Amino acid sequence: MMNSVYSINKGINKSIEFKGLKAQYIWYLGAGVILLMILFAGLFILGLPSVISMILIGGLGAFWVVKVYALSRKYGQYGMMKALARRQLPTAVRCRNRDIFMNKGRMDYGKETGRYLPDTGNQ
């Protein structure tokens, strides 16, 4: 009886990588190419000479590629999302009185005011 040979996919849960670009940066580069094509069409419709349009689009495209590769190297797969989320966190939470801690467990959410109100037991 012959033994069966099974190949094992070891790339499960790995981020997609294409020529050094990781994960969402591939989409950013694709979106940049689409926007540059739309910009070129707009410049062509406005009557700007094609040579000037090509130089402008080429320069913007080179800048965009360098910027996206730099972001991919700096942040990796999830780093930019983590950095953006970290910026939204407050540096400190200040509580000027102790009422919120003194009435802990006895609070009811008031629908009409949108504030936390003490639970009186009357429903």
Over residues 22-49, the pLDDT tens digits come to: 888 899 999 999 999 999 999 999 999 9
| 13-24 pLDDT tens trace | 777 777 878 888
Yes or no: say if 117 and 106 are a contact pair by the CB < 8 Å rule. no
Tell me the C-alpha to C-alpha distance, in Å, between residue 12 and each of 8, 75, 90, 111: 10, 21, 36, 46
Answer with the residue of higher pLDDT: 104 or 78.
78
Q: Does residue 105 have a pLDDT over 80?
A: no
pTM of the model: 0.60
Q: Which amino acid is at 89?
A: L
Average pLDDT over the chain reads 82
